[in-house]
Amino acid sequence: MPPPLAVEEQDDRSSEGMSALKVTSIIVGACVVIAGLGGAYLYSVIKDEKAAYEEDFKENFKNSWPAIWPNSTYVVDDIETLSDFGYRKIDTVAHANAGDFIEFRFNDLGYEVEVQEFTTELCNDCRNYIATMEGQNPDSWIVVGGHYDAICYSQQIIIGIEYPGCTSEGAYDDATGTASVLELARMMMEWQSTGAEYLSIPGTPQIDIRPTHTWKFAVWDYEEWQGSGSPEGAGYGSETFVTTLPEGVEIATYINLDMYGLNWPVETQLASQLSGCDEDYFHLYLFTSPVDDWSYYEDRGVNVTDEMREQAVLLQDRLGMVLHEQLQYPTEWVVVMDDTKGNSDHYNFISRGWPATWFRGMHEFLQEEDDTCEQSPKHAPTDRVDVLYTLAGGREGLEAGMQTGLNALALLMWSDITGNWA
């Protein structure tokens, strides 16, 4: 047993050692806590910065413009191809070949094509071609369409009666619309593929690049009237579409492309001026669900509701914003106005209560109203590509006129990608 003093000294040394150990433990513990707090803080900062970055990314995307725009050169190429098939009257070889070409083009772009077959008293083999880009809402559709059939009337002999030997390339009416539908379908597919490629890059914030609505790119058959003595009217292609919709589907908007491209900034050429047209440019008119004048539709038995009127206001406002605020097109030459004609495929949509617009070039009035600026070659042997080039001042002029409408359509489509349609 050690002497008492030695024991006391040992106890003192043990106490000192234990005190040092406690201090060390406290310091180490404090360091661990501080490190933990620092790590948590750092994690919190990083997390907040990441969230802020993702929020900024989404906001920038929402306010962005498309990086890929439609190409009017492609459109005019397709107009020439469709015209080269010859007179695309229903139930002809030229008509069938044009349909096969449309189906091939959609397939080549990566779409599965719905071929909607129908018959009428005068048409044994009519077909619509429809390509689908499914959106976030599979039951709310935006449809953009044009027709590929053609008709030729003898305007020189008896207006409205087809006569033997009258042929038309259907270049303006309506290879312009058909070719534009194909180009818009190409652009939508490219947006999706390039967007998916970008989002696959590690670290890229993930967003839904699908359009809000489901888009239908439709090429209609049998839009044309078959003469005043015909037992049938027209618009049977789009009529077949709207009468066979799946249950629960609504049409958010229909966009009709029929005879445009001969519009601003296409200058009126000498031939037009010599015929009495004193305007500097051809117009682009967007005949749209009426805000004020529903008489055309009411006269045909359409029950016009408050909802239809409200939708018309919203659509005309949306079109005006795209055309005049975003693209800054001149209001004198690019005009949104009430549709009081109804004589194209958009009629079948408006008459069923869905908002619609018709992109139409040249001029507001028709030939029977003695409008010298209305020189559309529709329904005549003069509906040829070379005539379009003459009226547009060359191929470059036609491409410029086509681009006017295509850019507007691209922004409308892009607004649905970014969630701004509504």
User: Given a cut of 60, is residue 22 above it in pLDDT?
Assistant: no
| Residue 161: predicted pLDDT | 61
User: Given a cut of 90, is residue 380 above it in pLDDT?
Assistant: no
Mean pLDDT of the 344-351 span: 94
**What band does 140 get if pLDDT is binned at 50, 70 and 90?**
very high
- pLDDT > 90 fraction of the chain, expressed in percent and rounded: 65
User: Given a cut of 60, is residue 19 above it in pLDDT?
Assistant: no
Mean pLDDT of the 398-412 span: 98
| Residue 34: predicted pLDDT | 46
User: Given a cut of 50, is residue 13 above it in pLDDT?
Assistant: no
Query: Which residue has better confidence, 196 or 384?
Result: 384
**What band does 203 get if pLDDT is binned at 50, 70 and 90?**
confident
Picking from 163-167, 354-358, 409-413, which range would have the lowest pLDDT averaged per residue? 163-167
**What band does 130 get if pLDDT is binned at 50, 70 and 90?**
very high
User: Given a cut of 80, is residue 41 above it in pLDDT?
Assistant: no
d(C-alpha 352, C-alpha 242), whole Å: 9
Picking from 19-28, 45-54, 78-87, 207-216, which range would have the lowest pLDDT averaged per residue? 19-28
| Residue 14: predicted pLDDT | 46
